[in-house]
Amino acid sequence: MISILINERYPLTGKPYPKRLIFKVVGYSSSTWYENPTPKTGKRGRKPKHSDEEVLQEIKKEIKKSKFNSEGYIKVKNRMAKRKINALVAGKARVNRIMRENSLLSPYRRPGKTNKREHDGTITTDAPNVMWATDGKKFWIEGSGWHWFFGVIDHFNDEIISWHIAKKGNRFAAMQPVRAAVRKTFGTIDKNVCTGMKLQLRSDHGSQYDSADFMNEMKYLGLEMSKAFVRSPQCNGIIERFHRTLEEQVLQVETFTSLEEAYNSIDQFIKDYNTDWIFHRLNYCSPVEYREKYAESLRKEKDNIPSGNKDPEVQLVLISSGSMPRRNERAEQEIIKGETTISNNPLEILRYNISPSDQLVRYKSNKKD
């Protein structure tokens, strides 16, 4: 009825009746009237740039070209966004929904039982070659039985530095990847080569690592040992997590019939892992990519170190002239370029120009004698 009246017009002028008058006569609240009401069907908000079908096709392409098995939706999302060509940005909830509807999600892994000792054992470093971790893992080769994989990983970026496969997992086999990592990093395995490097080697209390031969070799290299807590694999979680990835991506997927076949398969996986496996804690970078970005940041920081004041800059200096102000007390400031402004609280805000030729600090105290 209201819509009919709104469309009516004055007979003489042809102008429409005022809506406020119509609402008053009919007894209808104007606040509940919408000229173009939003339809109840359909989603509100901004329409996505790409349809679900387009996103699905890109997800399938990303999964197909991936070097790894059963990657989760978050990694797929970030891989699509990081493309140098034809990058596609989609929300993780949307990617998760599309992959779930098309049975593309990796199998859900139930969390295992945790140790009563409440600690995660996580050790993260802000630079490479500060903390390494090593451990061994058994795997099966058809016709020749059990073999051992030993590796050394850097806590900084989860990069596998070196690794070794042996038939017997004794102390001498455990030494091999450590010696190879030292040689690769420092160029030699001479006596005390690691002394003064602030480098530690993390390991558990396995018989290989607690043996006198292994400990003496580490002393010879000058490499300090950092032992994990007893019966707490999470204290050596970086290398333990890599072993799980190795098992899921290679050892449980492939069947080896010879040592050479196992070596080639593991070697290829570790190369792909270091260059292409992305981590959440590394801002979805691979270990090699993260290390290269770190090295680049150091180079830029070194190049941008200022040698004195090149350009005059206006700076603010806070000088305490007594007790500090209360937390909620704000200084009443009026900053004038090249002049000193005094506030009403014990902090004086001084503004001055610094030039290479005249580095003078002008300040004024508001203390009353």
Give the pLDDT of residue 193. 94
Helix (H) or strand (E) holding 153: strand 145-154
Give the pLDDT of residue 18. 81
Q: What top-level class would CATH report for the domain 131-296?
A: alpha beta
Three-class DSSP labels, 309-366: CCCCEEEEEEEECCCCCCCCCCCCCCCCCCCCECCCCCEEEEEEEECCCCCCCCCCCC
Give the pLDDT of residue 51. 87
Give the pLDDT of residue 332. 41
Domain chopping of the chain, boundaries: 2-32, 52-101, 131-296, 308-369
d(CA 115, CA 97): 34
Helix, strand, coil tally for the chain in percent (to 5)? 35, 15, 50
Low-confidence ranges of the chain (pLDDT < 50): 307-369
- Among 225, 223, 152, smallest CA distance to 192 is for 223
Give the pLDDT of residue 13. 80
pTM of the predicted structure, to 2 decimals: 0.66
Give the pLDDT of residue 312. 43
Give the pLDDT of residue 7. 72
Give the pLDDT of residue 293. 94
Query: Which residues sit opposite 227 in a β-bridge?
Result: 203
Give the pLDDT of residue 328. 41
pLDDT digits 0-9 by tens, 252-308:
999 999 999 999 999 999 999 999 999 988 999 999 999 999 999 999 888 876 544
Whole-number Cα distances in Å, 48 to 54, 82, 199, 287, 358: 11, 19, 49, 33, 58
Give the pLDDT of residue 160. 97
d(CA 90, CA 100): 15
